[in-house]
Structure 1
Amino acid sequence: MWSSPSRHRTRFPAENSRVRGGARFERGQFAERPTAHAADRDGLSCRVRGLAGARRGRRLRTAGRAARTRRLRLGLLVTSNRIRPPAVLGKMATTVDVISGGRLIMGLGVGGTVQAPDAGGIAGENPAVAEYAAYGLTLVPPAEGIARLEEIITILHGMWTRDVFDFHGRYYTLTSNRNEPKPVQQPGPPLLIGGWGNRTLRLVAEHADIWNIPGPPHNTLDYITERSAVLDDHCATIGRDPRTITRSVQYIVSYDDPATDRKTIGELIAAGVTHIVLSLRSPYPPQAARWLADQIITPVRSATGE
């Protein structure tokens, strides 16, 4: 169930989310298999696993979790558009959506691009430099990364909805693509785009169902609010209702100070964020899913009336 209207024809079924009116909470960044089962059993709304980068096994693990759970929505936060050929990525995503019975969120990002040190709220050298070098991949200028992402979005929608699909772009070419079976969700899984640059936000306005940006400490509340306003402007330019885009923030939880976490999350909700991805770092507390529900989700819902 979406917390705001969406142009996408897919809606989260009521049994797949625990939402009261406004913010939807999801949790990500768990490694232990039992935790997915616990979250599935205890009613947390989703499992969004993974960050951008060249970790090739995550789609396979996501498919495995899809087969072992029944209610959680699944996806990567986010898939780099540079690592796999677009049609291969589209087929992998289709497989996860079919195995899960229609529970995939398709998270996409520009991927590794040439960036100056300390860019994007990440201190020091661009971490993509070492990661992409380790996998024999090259970084590209941001403009090329965004252009490739736009082509991939077109390819995904085409192969998810058409019986036979041809595509001839600047960077990718497909001839007589056949993708069967189609995703359970039609016209395809909800599209989440992560990023905060002006050109990326234009793509969000044109194509996305969900926009995700890293929250504090990487980006301040004021910056997130300013970027959200830029997205609103892009929507106005193309004639799209900005309320049809879910505003999503990934927030890294502190085990030592849950009161501050609750305060910050409440401020994000007050600023219009309706999709909170709670990210945990290892080592995890015992019964991590239950700890999240008891220490963060339930108190925030009570305080905000969500």
Structure 2
Amino acid sequence: MKFGFIMFPTREAIPPGEFGALLEDRGFESLFMPDHTHIPAVTPERYDVLNIAPEFKNGMDAFVALGAIAQATTTLTIGTAVLLVSERDPIITAKEVASVDVLSGGRMQFGVGPGWIYQEMRHHGTDPADRFRVMRERVEAMQHIWTHDVATYHGEFVNFDHITSWPKPVQRPHPPILVAGNGPRVAERVIAYGDEWIPMLRPGVLDHITHFKKTARKPGTDEPIPVTLFGGDLADVDAYAAAGVDRVLFWVRPTPSKAMIEIVDNIAIQLGRRLR
């Protein structure tokens, strides 16, 4: 099992490149960046976005942070966990993903999700009721851009003819796509257009992972689909391994450099020989 981290990069926290170099030096496998373009000040839904953790509002752009990490590291896997593609233009995003993959020498992993703050989606022109279909079409459109010199895609929400976009990703056919979600239909989405599943740590998720690893297969293969657990607890890594989790991502709050070194070193000591 592999181990990595997730952190919103903010002005007050350890810089992304420094954080990546720290994790690489300590033997961790990966560093992933979350995504929120903004947080609405007011929403018609019941949840209170005004009380959300500050880093959701203050986090830097995921791709800018990943570019810095790519240049500061040589072996660390980097990626998004997760990019809210219902709020992202697919043509621009395809270029950003490919650019980070090139800068990192093929170390980019593309975690995608539909989003959960409905008003945030609306600000980007997406009806929350359409978010899963929008996500699928935008991911499929990006796959076309990455794998064709001249790409065309026609869907309900994405339409373009005969476009060229470079650079192409180093990884072929494209960086792994990790599909987020914990709902009953997430396996369908992973199989349809993903390469891996990235569920969040929630009650019952280990049973769901165990079932997924036994039953979910990409068409034409008998190989289990990899699972990355978003937000795992250090005390439960044995249970995650037993369920079939392939990667655990520890979600840490944005923290200055000195304190983050202590956090990382403490986790590394407790993991011991489990680290690569």
TM-score with structure 2 length normalisation?
0.79
Distance in structure 2 (CA, Å) of the matches to 1:211 and 1:168: 26
The one-letter code of the counterpart of 1:295 is N
CA contact (8 A) 2:26 2:268 kept: no
- Aligned CA distance change for structure 1 residues 197 and 132 (closer, same or farther; 3 Å): same
Of 197, 202, 211, 2:183 maps to 197
Task: Please state if 1:241 is matched with 2:226.
Answer: no
**In 1, Cα distance between equivalents of 2:76 and 2:109:** 11
- The one-character-per-residue Cα deviations of 1:32-59 (angstroms, maximum 9, x if unpaired) are 1222222233332111111456467221
Match of 1:153 in 2: 139
Contact 2:177 2:196 in 1 (8 A): yes
1:47 aligned onto 2:25: no
Task: Give the alignment partner of residue 7 of structure 2, picking from 9, 23, 29.
Answer: 29
For the residue of structure 2 that corresponds to 1:198, the secondary structure is coil
Q: Share of identical aligned residues, percent?
A: 22
1:141-198 deviations in whole A, cap 9, x for unaligned? 44x2221122122212111111101111111101112122211111000111111223
Q: Secondary structure at the match of 1:44?
A: coil
Query: Which structure 2 segments of 5+ residues have no match?
Result: 39-58
1:268 to 2:240 alignment: yes
Q: Structure 1 residues 148, 228: closer, same or farther in 2, change over 3 A? A: farther
8 Å CA contact 1:25–1:297 kept in 2: the answer is no
**1:90 Cα deviation after fit:** 0.5
Note if contact 1:146-1:199 (Cα within 8 Å) is conserved in structure 2. no
Deviation at 1:132?
4.7
Could you tell me whether the CA contact under 8 Å between 2:84 and 2:115 is conserved in 1?
yes
Q: Which amino acid aligns with 1:29?
A: M
Residue 225 of structure 1 pairs with residue 207 of structure 2: yes
TM-score scaled by length of structure 1: 0.72
Q: CA deviation at 1:64?
A: 2.4
Match of 2:231 in 1: 251
Answer yes or no: is the 8 Å Cα contact 1:202–1:231 preserved in 2: no
Distance, in Å, in 1 between the alignment partners of 2:148 and 2:120 is 35
| CA 1:138–1:163: 2 relative to 1, 3 Å | closer
For the residues of structure 1 that align with 2:192 and 2:213, how far apart are their CA atoms? 10
Amino acid at match of 2:270: P
Q: Indicate conservation of the 8 Å contact 1:266/1:300, yes or no.
A: no
Change (3 A) 1:248 1:291: same
1:77 match: secondary structure: strand
CA contact (8 A) 1:53 1:79 kept: no
Measure, in 1, the Cα distance between the counterparts of 2:212 and 2:19: 37
Q: What is the match of residue 54 of structure 2?
A: none
Q: 1:56 to 1:90 in 2, by over 3 A?
A: farther
- In structure 1, runs of 5+ residues without a counterpart are 1-22, 113-127, 253-260
Q: Number of matched residues? A: 250
Letter of the 2:245 counterpart: V
Q: Does 1:173 align with 2:173?
A: no
